[in-house]
Amino acid sequence: MTAHEIVSKIKSKKLSAEELISQALKKAKIVQEKYNAFITIDDKAINKAKELDTKISNGEELGLLAGVPVVVKDNICSKDLRTTAGSKILETFIPPYNATVVERLEAAGAIVIAKANMDEFGMGSSNENSAYGIAKNPWDSSRVPGGSSGGSAIAVATGVVPFALGTDTGGSVRQPASFTGTIGFKPTYGQLSRFGVVAYASSLDQVGVIARSSQDLALAMEAMSSHDKNDSTSIKNTNLEFLKSVASKKDLTSIKIGLIKELCNEGNSDDVLGILQETQKQLEGLGASVETVSLENVRYGIASYYLVAPAEASSNLARYDGMIYSNRVGENSEGQIDIMMKTRGELFGPEVRKRILMGSYALSAGYYDAFYGKALKVRKLIANDFARAFESYDFLMTPTTPSVAYKIGEKTDDPLAMYLDDIDTVLANLVGIPAISLPMGQSKDNLPIGIQFFAPALKDETLLQLSNIIEQNSTNFAPIVKI
C-alpha cells in the first residue's frame, strides 16, 4: 500500500496500526535475511502502534502519516534507538533525542521500524563500505543497491515501507533510487532540517526521501518541511504546500526542459542513453519542449566535489577520537595520543580513513589555495552555469547514473571509476538545488534505470509536480520487487 492508502485504512479503522506494523516488521526481517538492508530492526515499534490504536479508539485527532511505517537511514538520530552511521566507531551510540525530521514524522503519526544499512558515514556509492556488511540489490542480489542510502532504497523497493529517509551529500538518495527502481528526492539545501543528522560534509549534506509514489513523497515533505531554529542552515518562511501543488497540474504544456549536453553522451551505457531518448519522447508527448543546453563547467563537478567533501569530512570526523562519545580502543595508561590513533585507525573503515587523509591534505598549509580554495571557485562557476540555464528552462535533465547497478566487488579496486559514477548527481549538492531521480525504464538485462531532473532552488514543489505528471502517464512506475 502507499502511505496515502495506509492512512486512509487506519483512520477508517479498516486496519489496525498494530496489525500493519507487525506485518512490516515481519517483512523487514525477511528482507534483512536476503539483502542485509538494515542495521537495527526495532521490535518496540509495535508498542507505538498499540498507542496509536488507543488514540483511534478514543477518537483523538490523527496526523498526516497516522500508522505509516518508515525506515530511517542509520546516520539520522532516533531517540533510544541505536544510530551507528554504518561505523564501528559509533556501534554502541544510542541518541538521547530525535533528529528534527524524525521528530516531525513521528508527530504526524509515522512509526519508525528500522534503521537502514549504509556506507560508513555516507562515504560510498555502493553500500559496500558499511561496517555491518554489504547490502544487496533486490533486483539482482549479485549487484550493489547503490549508496550511501542503499538500505533505505531496498526497504522501499521491496515494499517493507512506502517511503524511507536517506541523506544525500553527492547523490546518496538519487543513485540508489536509480539502481533499485524507486524515486529519490533531494530537496533544496536547507529545506529539511539537518539537526540530529550525523555530519559528513556540512555544506553538501541534505536529508532526502526515497519512495515509490510522488504523492507519498509530497506527504513526507509536507510533514517534515518547515523552519527549524536548531539548524542554522534551515530555510525560513518557505511553507511549501507539497500535497496541493503536486496534484494541481495534469500535463507539461509550456514547460521547457534542458538536456545537459556534457552529461548525456559519451561515458553513458547504451541502455542508459536509450532510456534517456525514450524519456525525452515521453516528455514531448506530454507537451514539454526538450532542448540540448551546454553547461561547460559541469565537467569539473566531480573534481570539485571530491575536494570539498573530504575536506569538510576531515573536519567533521575529528570529533571521533575515543575521548567523548565514540567507542574507544586502548587503555588510559597508554596515553591520549596512542588511544586516539588506535581508535581512529581500527574503528574507521578504509574508505573513511582515505577520505579523511584526502581532506586533511587539501586543507593543509601550502595546499589550501591550490586544492580546496580552487574547488570552491569551480563550485561557484558551476552554480553560475545553472543559474543562467534556469533563465531559459524550467527543469534540467541528465541520466541519474552512467550505468545500471554493477556487480558487488566490481569497482572495489578502482576507486576512481566508482567516484565517476557520481558525475551527474554531485552537481545538485554543489549548487544547493533540488533534484529527483525517476525510474524511467529498464536495461536489456531488466535492471532499473533512473533519469534525473533538476529545478531552481526552492522549486521543490514543481519538481514533485513534474514527477507526479510523469508517474500518472507511465506504466509499471516504481514497481515493488517480489521477495
Q: For this structure, is 407 an active site residue?
A: no
Residue 155: per-residue pLDDT: 98
- Helix or strand holding residue 453 (H, E): strand 448-454
- Amino acid at position 399, single letter: P
Q: Which of 73, 136, 411, 459 is catalytic?
A: 73
* Per-residue model confidence as pLDDT tens digits over 321-376: 998 879 999 877 678 889 899 999 999 999 999 999 999 999 998 899 999 999 99
Contacts of 360 (CB under 8 A, 6+ apart): 314
Decide if 459 is catalytic.
no
> Residue 474 and residue 471: Cα distance in Å, rounded?
5
pLDDT at 238: 65
289-303 pLDDT tens trace: 999 999 999 999 999
Among residues 95, 13, 77, the alpha carbon closest in space to that of 325 is found at: 95
- CA 429-132-26 angle, to 5 degrees, is 95
CATH of the domain at 33: 3.90.1300.10
- Bridge partners, 71 (sequence order): 114, 164
Q: Which of 289, 214, 200, 298 is nearest to 249 (CA)?
A: 214
pLDDT attached to residue 304: 97
Taking the mean position of all CA atoms in its chain, how far away is CA 172?
A: 5
Cα gap 288→295, rounded to integer Å: 21
Q: Where are the beta strands (DSSP E) in 132-182?
A: 163-167
Catalytic-labelled residue, pool 148, 213, 225, 467 = 148
Between CA 232 and CA 468 the distance in angstroms is: 32
Question: DSSP strand E in 330-447: where?
Answer: 395-399, 435-442
* 27 part of the active site: no
Domain boundaries, position 271: 1-483
DSSP single-letter state for residue 424: T
Grid cell at residue 81: 534507538
Dist. CA 129–CA 126, nearest whole Å? 7
- Residue 169 sits at the vertex; the CA angle it makes with 65 and 312, to the nearest 5 degrees, is 130
Write down the pLDDT at residue 461.
94
The Cα 184–Cα 448 span in angstroms is 13
- Neighbour tally for 148: CB within 10 Å: 35
Name the residue type at position 249. K
Amino acid at position 388, single letter: R
Taking the chain (483 residues) in runs of 10, the rounded mean pLDDT of each run is: 96 96 98 98 98 95 96 98 98 97 98 98 97 98 98 98 98 98 98 98 98 97 95 85 87 96 95 98 97 97 97 96 88 82 94 96 90 96 98 98 97 90 97 98 97 97 96 90 90
- Global confidence as pTM: 0.97
> How many CA atoms lie within 13 Å of 47's alpha carbon, on the beta-carbon side?
3
| Neighbouring-strand partners of residue 78 | 81
Contact (CB, 8 A) for 108 and 64: yes
- Number of domains composing the chain: 1
Cell of 69: 511505517
207-230 burial, b at 16+ Cβ within 10 Å, e below that, comes to: bbbbbbbbbbbbbbbbbbbbebee
| Cβ atoms within 10 Å of 401's Cβ, excluding its own | 30
Do the bridges between strand 289-293 and strand 183-186 make them parallel or antiparallel, or are there none, so unpaired? unpaired
Catalytic residue among 152, 172, 225, 467: 172
